[in-house]
Amino acid sequence: MPLFKKRSVGKPGEWYYCLEHKKVEEGPDCPAKDRFGPYASRSEAERAMETARERNLQWENDAKWRDAPAGERDDG
């Protein structure tokens, strides 16, 4: 019998999207480095990649996060 039991990090009812297996999982079955979440519902976890793409586009087009060209500084 092992001295320490493997403990899951999540709570029942939390959903994750596994980046390695490309599937939705209830509870954290895969390591944190390989998953997005937690999400409140299965449907939110199913949209994880779409949500990430949408957020990336928003951040890429956000003027506050654009790097100024070399030698210029944007104080605005």
For the whole prediction, is pTM greater than 0.85? no
Domain positions in the chain are: 15-61
- pLDDT tens for the chain, 76 residues: list them: 555 555 555 677 899 999 999 999 998 888 999 999 999 999 999 999 999 999 999 988 888 876 655 555 555 5
Q: Is 9 helix (H, G, I), strand (E, B) or coil?
A: coil
Burial of 6 (0-12, 13-18, 19+ CB in 10 A): exposed
In three state form, how does the secondary structure of 24-73 look?
EEECCCCCHHHEEEEECCHHHHHCHHHHHHHHHHHHHCCHHHCCCCCCCC
